[in-house]
Amino acid sequence: MTAAKKIPVEKGLDNSLALMKEGFYFIPNRMKKFNTNIFRTRLLGGQKVICISGAGAGEIFYDNTLFKREGVAPNRIKESLFGQGGVQGLDGAAHRHRKALFMSQMTPDNIKEIRQIAGKQWEIAIEDWQNKDRIELLYEAEKIFCITACQWAGVPLKAKNVMTRTKDLAAMIDAFGAIGPRHWEGRMARNRAEKWIEDIIGKVRSNEMKVEEDKPLHAVAWHRDLNHTLLDVKTVAVEVLNLLRPIVAIGRYVMFGALAMHDFPETREKLKNDKRETYSQMFTQEVRRYYPFGPFLGAIAKKDFEWQGFPIKEDTLVLLDVHGINHSSDLWENPNTFWPERFHEWDGSPFNFVPQGGGDYHDGHRCAGEWITIELMKVSLEFLAKRISYDVPEQDFSYSMSRMPTMPKSRFIMENVRWR
């Protein structure tokens, strides 16, 4: 029997400060330093953590016999981004059952419907933008997706509340890597949003509010857990927000897509001339690969095992290097070049391209809304490229790689927006 290999160690009692400073590059920097796909360190108040990256890392991370999610998300994340008791922290049969609720909403008809709603909302929005000198694309896209998400899910949203709801859903997303005021804003936003949805669920369950049976809100409100009981109202609110919030998050990808069209103008021309969504599909995939969104994902080892000869002990928190995998030169040719055509030849691996997680949608934690994300990005980016014109004034497009999540400082300002 050969002895297990020694995992390289990034020393220090707690490297959280370095993580905050280096952000998306924290794991990739150390992988480079140790010339490895695995290292050990201490984060989150001195907790032992193993980081994994490169080929084969996704395969083990999404193996349910090796990893679990219960207890992974720190309270800070539950208080702002996720909420308590949602699908993200479930395992085994309970997870499969709850995940089936989400996946049952991702039918081709439902996806077609949300795409149509979003397309219409872009058309409505430009009527307003034509009367303005300038708009900030990130906020406008988030607003469009907030209205779209509510309409699609069956959640009533009055015009006078659109701004508050959009800002709250966006603040929960913006809080995920934050400490201090940004975290607190996310936390207060979550409290308000949960209260909003809890009130709605109360009315739905008491028949005071009618929801069409084919709407996601109906499905979640009346979902029964494995023991056949209805979910408590708070958990329903968390799961409804697990649909609404990430739809608003697509605004960031649309903003990055607009930035890509601006920085690489030939891609905009190709999008304009695209006939059958061949190019817009590749462009969308490349935006999701190239631009930073989630830096890493966490799971806890269920037992002792070896990976590539390295020992991983039961109960260790393991972080999958999402940003590093999407930019690995072992997995991608010229990973730091924005090149949508790379997806022409792509083999569709569920483990090497992980902007929204990997593995299986039903059995694992891969993002339930990946298909919706792709469709809403396509309809939105096609709208920006083909249907309207706008000027892009001088502004600060730079984005920090230590801020998680990140965005161009200017949030993409557009002027003189008009129909083409």
Instruction: Give CA–CA dist 285/267, Å, rounded.
Output: 13
Residue 405: cis peptide before it, omega within 30 degrees of 0: yes
Shortest Å, Cβ 308 to ligand HEM? 21
Residue whose pair of structure tokens reads 């930035």 in the numeric block: 259
Q: Considering beta carbons, is residue 193 or 417 the nearer one to ligand HEM?
A: 193
Instruction: State how far the Cα of 96 lies from the Cα of 90, in Å rounded to an integer.
Output: 8
> Do residues 156 and 209 lie in contact, with contact meaning Cβ atoms separated by under 8 Å?
yes
- Judged by CB under 6 A, which of 356, 380, 406, 410 binds ligand HEM? 356
The CA angle 13-16-21, to the nearest 5 degrees, is: 130
The smaller minimum CB distance to ligand HEM, of residues 43 and 417, is found at: 43
- Tell me the closest approach of the beta carbon of residue 100 to ligand HEM, in angstroms: 10
Q: Is residue 292 close enough to count as binding ligand HEM by CB under 6 A? A: no
CA dist 411 and 322 (Å) reads: 23
Question: Which window, 47-55, 291-299, 304-312, 325-333, contacts ligand HEM (CB under 6 A)?
Answer: 291-299
- CA 316/CA 300 separation, integer angstroms: 6
Are the C-beta atoms of residues 277 and 340 closer than 8 Å to each other?
no
Q: Is residue 55 part of the contact set for ligand HEM (CB under 6 A)?
A: no
- Does 99 interact with ligand HEM (rule: CB under 6 A)? yes
Both tokens of residue 55? Answer: 């080929």
Shortest spacing between CB 377 and ligand HEM, in angstroms: 8
SS3 content of the chain, % helix, strand, coil (to 5): 50, 10, 40
Binding residue for ligand HEM, selected from 58, 294, 295, 340, defined by CB under 6 A: 294
Crossing angle of helices 233-263/278-290, nearest 10°? 110
- The one segment of 10-18, 292-300, 309-317, 340-348 that binds ligand HEM by CB under 6 A: 292-300
Residue with tokens 């691996």: 349
The DSSP call for residue 341 is G
In angstroms, the CA 122 to CA 117 distance is 9
Contact region with ligand HEM (CB under 6 A), list: 207-215, 324-332, 337-345, 361-369: 361-369
Q: Which two tokens stand for residue 389?
A: 């014109």
End-to-end Cα spacing for the chain: 69
Examine residue 340 and tell whether it contacts ligand HEM (CB under 6 A): no
Strands 305-307 and 310-312: antiparallel
Using CB under 6 A, which of 121, 357, 380, 385 touches ligand HEM?
A: 357
Q: How far is the CB of 29 from ligand HEM (least distance, A)?
A: 21
Element containing residue 347 per DSSP (H, E): none
Q: Print the binding letters for residues 237-256 with ligand HEM: x by CB under 6 A, - otherwise.
A: -----xx--xx-xx--x---
**By rule CB under 6 A, what string of x and - marks binding of each residue 370-389 to ligand HEM?**
--xx----------------
Q: Is 310 strand, coil or helix?
A: strand
- To the nearest whole angstrom, how small is the minimum distance from the Cβ of residue 344 to ligand HEM? 23
Q: Which is nearer to ligand HEM, 10 or 378 (CB)?
A: 378
Select the span of 225-233, 262-270, 340-348, 365-373 touching ligand HEM (CB under 6 A). Answer: 365-373
Residues paired with 41 in a beta bridge: 49
Query: Residue 314 is encoded by which pair of tokens?
Result: 């039961």
CB of 327 to ligand HEM, least distance (A): 15
Residue number, 12 or 92, with CB nearest to ligand HEM: 92
Residue 398: count other Cβ atoms within 10 Å of its Cβ: 8
Q: How far is the CB of 83 from ligand HEM (least distance, A)?
A: 11
- Chosen residue from 27, 261, 287, 297 binding ligand HEM by CB under 6 A: 297
Shortest Å distance, C-beta 356 to ligand HEM: 4
Using CB under 6 A as the binding rule, whether residue 326 contacts ligand HEM is answered as no
Q: Which residues bind ligand HEM (CB under 6 A)?
A: 87-88, 99, 102, 242-243, 246-247, 249-250, 253, 293-294, 297, 355-357, 365-369, 372-373
